[in-house]
Structure 1
Amino acid sequence: MNSDTKTPANAAFDTMIFEWTVSGMDCGSCATKVRGAVERLSGVSDIEVLPMRERMRLTLDPSRTSPEKVEATVRKLGYGVSTADDTHGTGASSGHGKGDHSEASEEDHGRIGHAHDDPADRGKSWYQTGKGRLVIVTGALLALAWCIELLTSQDIGLWAFILACLIGVAPVARRAFAALRAGLPFTIEMLMTIAAVGALFIGAAEEAALVVFLFAVGEVLEGVAADRARASIRALSDLVPKSALLVENGTTREVDAATLQIGQVILARPGARIAADGEVTEGTSGVDQSPVTGESVPITRKPGDPVFAGSINAEAALHIRVTKASENNTISRIVALVEEAESARAPTERFIDRFSRWYMPTIVGLSLLVVLVPPLFAGGDWGTWVYRGLALLLIGCPCALVISVPASIASGLSSGARRGLLMKGGAVIEATAKIANVAFDKTGTLTAGRPVVTNVVPLNGTTEADILAVASGVEAGSSHPLAEAITTYAQEAGIAPLASSGARAIVGKGVEATVGDALAWVASPGFASDAGVLDDAGTDVAARMEDEGKTVVVVYREGRALGLIAMRDEARADAVEALRQLKVLGVDGVMLTGDNTRTAAAIAGHLGIDFKADLMPEDKVAAIRSIAREGVMMIGDGINDAPALAQASVGVAMGSGTDVALETADAAILRNRVTDVAAMIRLARATMGNIRQNVTIALGLKAVFLVTTVFGITGLWIAILADTGATVLVTLNALRLLRFNPEREG
C-alpha cells in the first residue's frame, strides 16, 4: 500500500492515496465488482482498479474508513489483497504496512474459501492453485455421485448429486452474498447460485452439480488465459539482472542492481545482461539491444555511447557509468508506461463498460419473464420454463464482453513494448488506428540528428580559427545537434573554445553568450540580417549553401559578422521506405521544421514529402491544428516539439528524444527507426480489429444461446459453457496479438 501522496480533501479531512495488490482478478467483471463494492465505502474517491496489473489505487479519508476496512471488503468478495509494497517495496506512511493484517482478518480471509485469494498461486501449475483445487474437488464429487447412482439406486444418486452441488456451490454463494451486502446484486456468482439452487428445486440435481463443476473449470481457464497476458508484462521486468558488478578502487564486487546510484561504474562481462542504463567509459563491444528495443542487429558501443539496462553485452567487457537509478531506467519506464496505460481506457472500452451495466439486469428481467409468462398466460409447464429461465440467467454474465476490449489492449501494448513501440493506453491505440496524416519533425526524426560541419566561411577579415573559437565557446555545454557538430569540428581541428558564460537560447533562432569580454551569437541568417550584421554578400553565400540542403548559422559579435558555418544532416536510411509504407496504409506525410525553406526543400525533395519550413514551436502547433480534423500523428524528439506532440491526435517521441518529449508524447519509438511509425499504425489497427472480433464473439455467442435456451434446445450446462467458453475464447483471441509482427506488411 502506498500512501506517500497526501492532499487536503477539504477543511475537515485529509485524504491519502493508497495502493494495493488484488490477486485473482481475471476479467473486467472482477474489476467492476471490486470497484463497485469499495467505492460505496465512506471517504473513498478516485478509485482505479486495474485487473491486468492486479492493482487497486484510490484516494481515502482514513478518518471515515480505515485501510483495513477496505481490505476486508475486497476479501469478502473472494479476492486476495496485500499492500502494494509487498511487490514493489514502497513504504506506507499510514502505518498500515506489510504484514500488518489482523489475525481476525486472516481467519476471515481463509473462510471465504475462494480460489482467487492466494497470491502465492502465481507461477504454479493449475492443479496446485486454489482454483485448480476447487475443480478437482467438484469434479471428484460429481464423479462420486455418478458412481453412487450407478451402484445403488436413482433415489440415492439424487441425494449424492444434491450434496455434490451444495458443497461445490457453497464458496460461490458466500461470494455472491458478500457482493450483495456490498450493494452488487448482479454478479456471476449470484446468478450461478440462483441457477444451481433453482435446478435443485425442480429436480435437476445432476445437471446442477455438472454446472457447478463447469463453472469451476471455466474459472481455471480464465485465470490461465489472464495470467498468460500478464506474463508478457512481467517478462519485461525480468530482463534487468538482479545483481551487478560494481567497480570501486580497481576491484569489483557483486551488489544488488536496485541499489546502484548515478555516477557509479559497473562491469558488464561478455554474454551478460547490462544491469543499468549508463554510458560506456571503457571498452568497445557489440551490444544486443533486442530485449529492450526489439532491434535485431547488435550495435557497436564505445566510450561515450549510451547503453540500456537489460541489453546483452555480446563481445567484450565494458565499464559503464550509471546514468539512471533502477526505478528510472529504460525497462522500468517501459513497464510503467505499459502498466499505467491500462488506466487510459479506449472510448470503445468505456462504451462496453456502460453497456454491460444494464445488460445483466436486462437479462435477469428477461429470465423472470421467461419463467412467469408462459405458465401464467399460455398454460406452459412451470418446471420447463423455470429450467429455461435459470439457463437464461447463466447467459446474463457479461464477463466475455467486458474483457473483450482490455484483453486486446493489454496484448497489443505488450506486443508493441517487446518491439520498442510504446503506446500509453487504449485511447492512444484507438486514436492511432484512425490516423490519416503523419507530421514529422526533421532533425533527429527524418534525419539522423547528427549533422556535420561542411563549410566554414570567414567574413570581414576573420580566420576559420577565430570563427570556430567563438562559435564553440557560445555552444559549449549545449546538447543541441548543431551545437555538438560545431564543438566536435572545432575539437578535431585542434581549436580550443574561448571561455564563455551566460549562454541563453533564443528559441528557434540561435544562442547568445558572453565570450571573452563581449557578447557573441550563433544564429540563423535571418536573425543575423535583422540584427544588421549580415550584408547582401554574406546573405547570398548563405542562400547558396542552403540551396544545397545545408543548415547555415552566422557567428557574430555586436555589429560585426565573423563568418558562416554550414552543416548538413542526412536523411535516415529508412526514411524513404517509411514514407512508402505509410502511403500503402493510406496515410499522408508532411515535414514540419524550423529550418529555412531551401534546406527543408532539399530534404523533402529527396524523401518525396510535403513540407512546411521556418516554423517556430507555436507555428508547428498551428500547423498541427490545421490538419487535426482528419486525425494527425506528430513525430518529434526535441523540447521544441513538445507543444506540437501535445496538440496532435497522437504525439510520438523518437526514443533518442528528450525526457520532455517522451513525457509529453502519447507514444514512443525506442529504436529510432522511421519505419516503426508504420509498424505502430499497423499494430493499432490490428488491435482494433481484434477488439471487433472479440465483441462479435462475445455478443454472438450470447445471442445464439439466448435463442436456443428460450426454445429449449440448450440447457444449464451448455449455458455455463457458453459464458465461460466465450470468456476464454476472447482472451485467447486477444493473446494472438502477442505473436503479431507489426513490421510485416499485409
Structure 2
Amino acid sequence: MTEKIAPKCGQGHNHDHENNLNTDHKYTQSHNNQERFKYRIEGEFCPNCAAKMERILSSTPGFGETTINYAAKTVFLPPMLIDQAQEIMRGIEPGVKLAAIKEKRALEDTKNDNEDHLDRKQLLTILVAAVLLVIGLVFGSHWHNSNLEVLEYAIYLSAYLLVGFEVLEKAVRNIIRGAIFDENFLMALATVGAIAIHQLSEAVGVMLFYSVGELIENRAADRSRRSIKALVNIRPDYANLLNQLDVTKVDPEDVLVGQQILVRPGEKVPLDGEILHGSSFVDTSALTGESVPRKVNVGDTVLAGMINNSGVLTVKVMHEFADSSVQKILDLVENASSRKANTEKFITTFARYYTPGVVAVALGIALIPPLFMGGVFSEWLYRAMTILVISCPCALVISVPLGYFGGIGGASRQGILVKGANYLEALTNVRTVLFDKTGTLTEGVFQVVKIAPVQGFTENTLLELAAKAEIHSNHPIAKSIREKFGKILKADELDQYQEISGQGIQATIKGQYVLAGKEELIKQAGIEVPSIENKEAGTLVHLAIDGAYAGYILIADRVKVGSRETIARLNTAGIKTVMLTGDQEKAAQAIADDLQISEHHSDLLPEHKVAWLESYLKQSGKGKVVFVGDGINDAPVLTRADIGVAMGGLGSDAAIEAADVVLMEDQPGKLIDAIDIAQYTKKIIWQNIAFALIIKLVFIILGMFGAVNMWEAVFADVGVAVLAILNATRIIRYSIPGQMAEGGGYSTSLRGNPLNDMS
C-alpha cells in the first residue's frame, strides 16, 4: 500500500531494488515527472549541514531540487539514487543514515531509545573532559612552571580530544572536499590557534562548552519537534474490526474499505466511514478546532481523528487509512516545511556568505595590526580566534525553519491546514481578499420564498417542472427547489437533460421542453422575459415551458455567522474585500451591502471569476491576493490566486487539491485566525533573526577590541542558538485571539487589531 502525501502528488508504485531502503515506503512525491520516496534522516546533524546537503544534492544530476525538512528530519529522494544520496550526506555528516519511513510506533520508540543512548554517551564524554579540565586548571600552572609541563599538555590535550576529536575529523574531511567554511572548521581553527599560543585551558573550555551547547541545542530542537508533532498527534492507535460476532483490535492500516469497525465511547475514530448503527456526540476539535461536540446519527459520516464521546458506533469504512482525513492532515502538516518561505531561503543564502566574511575579518585582525601597527601577534591572534568562535550561523539557520514548522503545527491545531511555509509567510502580506458568496459568506442553505407564475401557469406546475428539471443538479439552489416540491422524483420522466455551466438547465420532461435558470438562458432561446420589479433579496430562477415564459421562483440564502465580523476586521485593517458570485446583481448587492463588502461582481461564470482575479493580481503590486471559496466549484480561481483558501474543506479531496490553505471548519473567521497565526510566526522569527545578528555583531566588535575572551564567545554561539530555539517554541504555545496563551504568552488579538500591522 502506497500512501499519498499530499495533493498534486503522484501515485506510489512498487520499486524492486537491492537496497532495502527502497521497500515498504509509505510516502511518495512526484517532482519533475520523477517519483520520489520519503526518507527519515537518522542521527544528529546541524542546520548548516542540512543546508549543505540540500545544495549538493540539488546540484547533483538526477536529483533535481531537493529540500531537507530539518524540523521533521525528512527528505524526498529518487529511490534509484538512494545509495548516492547516502554517500553525499555521509560525506558532510558521517553519523547520518537514511531510513525508510514506517509509521509503526515501535520504530519511533526504538529511535527515541537510540537517541537517548547517544545522549548518555555524549554526556559521559563531556563529564570526563570536564573533570580533566578541572584537574588542569588546579594543577596546570604548577606543572607549567616545573619540569612537568608535558603532564599539563597530556591532561589538556586528552580533554580536548575527548570532546573535540569529532569536530576536528569533520573539519579535516570537509577541507579535503573543498567545503571549508562551516562551524567545524571555525571551532577547529579557533581552538588549534589557542593551543598554538599556549591558551590550553581556553581551547579545552571552548570545545567543552561547544559540545555542551550542541547537546542542549539538539535536545531543544528535538523537544521542539516533538511538541509540534504532539499538536497534531491525532493518529489513531488501533481499530476495533468487526468480524461476524468477534471484535479484533488491529492496526488502522490493516482495515479494508467496506469492512465494519466498532468505535466505543472515549475512542478515536480510526478511519473515515459511514455510521451504520448508533448515535453519539463526537469531538472534532483535533481536526477542525471546533470546541462544541457534533451530533452524529445513522447515515452520517465520521472522519478519522474524531473522538467518540458517548454512544457506541458501528461504522462502515469508506477509505483506507492512507486516504483518510487524519492522514491527509498529518502529511500536509509535516511536509509543509518542504515549501520554504523567502525568509528561510534568505537566511540559508546569508549563512553561505556570512561565515567566509567573518573568517576574512578574523584573518585581517590576526595579521594587519602585527604587520602594520606593531601589535603583539599572539594577542591579535587570540582576538581573531575569539571572533571565529562567535561567528557560527546556527542560531539563524535552525530557528527559522523551526519557527515556521511551529506556526504550521499551531495552525493545524486550530483547524487550519497551511500547505507550505511560503503560504504562511504570504498571509502576512495580504492586500486583497476575494470571496465566493454561496457557501462561503452565506450558509448555502437556500429556501424557496416565492413562486410567481405568469398567466396560464400555476404555482404547482412551475414548482413541479422546476424540481424535475433540477433532478440531477447538486447545486444548493436545485436542492432547495426539490425540497420545496417534497415528492419523489423519477429520473425516467426526463427524455433529455443538459446542464449549462453558470446558466441553468434545459430538459425535456414528458414531451415538454423546459428551461430553468438565469434570465440570459431564457433570452438566448429567443424567449422574451418580462420586466420584474423584485424588492426582495435573493436569486431568481426563471422558467420557460415549450418556448413560452412561465414565471420565476425566488430563492433566498442566509448570511453565515461570522461573515460580518470577518469582513469588518479586514476592512478595518485596510484590506480590500471583494465578492465574486454567479448570482444576479440584486441578490449580490443585498449581501454586499449587508456585509459592507468594498466591491462585488455578479452574474459571473467560472471563467469570469478568473478574469476578475487576474485584474486584482495586477493591481495588488507586492501585496498578496487571497481567494476564499468552497474548494470544489472554484478550483480554477483557488489555483490561480496568490493564496487559495478553501472553506469547510474537511474530507474534501477537491478542496485540499486546489487550495493552498484549507479551513477545515466552515467558518469565515478562520481566515482571520490564519492571518493572525502567520503574523505571530513572522514576529517570533524576526525576533530570532534580530537577536542573533545583534548579539553576534556586538560580540564581534568586543572581540576586536579584546573585551571578550573565548569562554564568553561560546555564549554568543551556542547560547544564542539555544535561546533562539526556545523562543521559537513560543509559537507552539500560541493561542488564537480570545484564548490565553499558555504561560501568559502572546495574547494580542488579531480580532482586536494586529491585522493593522499589515497595512
What TM-score, normalized to structure 2?
A: 0.85
Q: CA deviation at 1:433?
A: 0.7
Q: CA deviation at 1:636?
A: 0.5
The 2-side partners of 1:273 and 1:717 are apart by: 52
Alignment of 1:402-551 (within 5 A): 402-458=397-453, 461-462=456-457, 466-490=461-485, 492-493=486-487, 499-500=493-494, 503-513=497-507, 515-516=509-510, 520-533=514-527, 535-536=529-530, 540=532, 544=534, 547-551=535-539
Q: CA deviation at 1:18?
A: 4.9
Change (3 A) 1:78 1:242: same
SS of the residue 1:739 aligns to = coil
User: Which residue is equivalent to 2:570?
Assistant: 582
SS of the residue 2:67 aligns to = strand
User: Which residue is equivalent to 1:645?
Assistant: 638
Change (3 A) 1:648 1:363: same
Contact 1:21 1:81 in 2 (8 A): no
601-610 or 355-364: bigger deviation: 601-610
Amino acid at match of 2:643: V
1:381 to 366, 376, 381: 376
User: Which residue is equivalent to 1:267?
Assistant: 262
Change (3 A) 1:187 1:621: same
User: Which residue is equivalent to 2:92?
Assistant: 77
Change (3 A) 1:285 1:461: farther
307-316 or 593-602: bigger deviation: 307-316
Q: Which runs of 5+ in 2 are unaligned?
A: 1-20, 145-150, 739-748, 753-759
SS of the residue 1:443 aligns to = coil
TM-align CA RMSD: 3.1
The 1-side partners of 2:78 and 2:114 are apart by: 36
User: Which residue is equivalent to 1:299?
Assistant: 294
1:326 to 321, 330, 339: 321
The 2-side partners of 1:6 and 1:410 are apart by: 20
Question: CA deviation digits over 1:110-153, x for unaligned, max 9?
Answer: xxxxxxxx987754598x34245323312322223423653684
707-716 or 477-486: bigger deviation: 477-486
Q: Which runs of 5+ in 1 are unaligned?
A: 90-117
Q: CA deviation at 1:560?
A: 4.1
User: Which residue is equivalent to 2:215?
Assistant: 220
Alignment of 1:202-281 (within 5 A): 202-235=197-230, 238-249=233-244, 252-281=247-276
Contact 1:226 1:731 in 2 (8 A): yes
SS of the residue 1:47 aligns to = coil
Amino acid at match of 2:635: A
Contact 1:498 1:515 in 2 (8 A): no
Contact 1:23 1:119 in 2 (8 A): no
Is 1:52 matched up with 2:71? yes
Change (3 A) 1:323 1:478: farther
User: Which residue is equivalent to 1:105?
Assistant: none
Contact 1:456 1:566 in 2 (8 A): yes
Contact 2:631 2:649 in 1 (8 A): no
455-464 or 596-605: bigger deviation: 455-464
SS of the residue 2:438 aligns to = helix
Is 1:616 matched up with 2:605? yes
2:665 to 649, 671, 681: 671
The 2-side partners of 1:581 and 1:737 are apart by: 23
1:742 to 711, 736, 743: 736
Q: CA deviation at 1:435?
A: 0.9
The 2-side partners of 1:410 and 1:437 are apart by: 26
The 2-side partners of 1:231 and 1:502 are apart by: 59
Question: CA deviation digits over 1:364-415, x for unaligned, max 9?
Answer: 1111111111111122222212211111112222111223432221111111
Change (3 A) 1:484 1:80: farther
The 2-side partners of 1:320 and 1:434 are apart by: 44
SS of the residue 1:349 aligns to = helix
Q: CA deviation at 1:724?
A: 1.1
Q: CA deviation at 1:270?
A: 1.8
Contact 1:346 1:428 in 2 (8 A): yes
Change (3 A) 1:119 1:608: closer
User: Which residue is equivalent to 1:138?
Assistant: 126
Q: CA deviation at 1:597?
A: 0.8
SS of the residue 1:552 aligns to = strand
157-166 or 232-241: bigger deviation: 232-241
The 2-side partners of 1:394 and 1:569 are apart by: 66
The 2-side partners of 1:518 and 1:174 are apart by: 87
293-302 or 327-336: bigger deviation: 327-336
The 1-side partners of 2:522 and 2:369 are apart by: 90
The 1-side partners of 2:260 and 2:204 are apart by: 64
Is 1:68 matched up with 2:68? no
Q: CA deviation at 1:88?
A: 5.0
1:314 to 309, 325, 331: 309
Amino acid at match of 1:58: L
Q: Percent identity?
A: 33
Change (3 A) 1:164 1:82: closer
Question: CA deviation digits over 1:132-176, x for unaligned, max 9?
Answer: 532331232222342365368444344312210012111122222
User: Which residue is equivalent to 1:567?
Assistant: 555
The 2-side partners of 1:393 and 1:377 are apart by: 22
Contact 1:281 1:304 in 2 (8 A): yes
Q: CA deviation at 1:683?
A: 1.4
Contact 2:629 2:647 in 1 (8 A): yes
179-188 or 231-240: bigger deviation: 231-240
Contact 2:673 2:736 in 1 (8 A): yes
Question: CA deviation digits over 1:574-631, x for unaligned, max 9?
Answer: 1112222223433232221110011112222222223221112222223223333333
Q: CA deviation at 1:21?
A: 1.5
Contact 2:271 2:320 in 1 (8 A): yes
Is 1:30 matched up with 2:49? yes
Contact 1:473 1:498 in 2 (8 A): no
Moved over 6 A (4+): 3-9, 118-121
The 1-side partners of 2:262 and 2:324 are apart by: 17
Q: CA deviation at 1:352?
A: 2.0
SS of the residue 2:395 aligns to = helix
Change (3 A) 1:15 1:681: closer
Q: CA deviation at 1:430?
A: 2.2
User: Which residue is equivalent to 2:583?
Assistant: 595
Is 1:607 matched up with 2:589? no
User: Which residue is equivalent to 2:5?
Assistant: none
Q: CA deviation at 1:362?
A: 0.8
Number of residue pairs matched by the alignment: 702
Amino acid at match of 1:78: E
Contact 1:34 1:77 in 2 (8 A): yes
SS of the residue 1:618 aligns to = helix
The 2-side partners of 1:16 and 1:516 are apart by: 53
Contact 1:149 1:158 in 2 (8 A): no
The 1-side partners of 2:510 and 2:243 are apart by: 40
1:691 to 685, 701, 704: 685
What TM-score, normalized to structure 1?
A: 0.86
Question: CA deviation digits over 1:164-193, x for unaligned, max 9?
Answer: 001211112222233334432111112112
Change (3 A) 1:256 1:295: same
Contact 1:45 1:58 in 2 (8 A): no
Question: CA deviation digits over 1:524-578, x for unaligned, max 9?
Answer: 2332233244642xx52xx52xx42222223445424555333222011111122
The 2-side partners of 1:57 and 1:294 are apart by: 30
The 1-side partners of 2:369 and 2:640 are apart by: 59
Alignment of 1:356-375 (within 5 A): 356-375=351-370
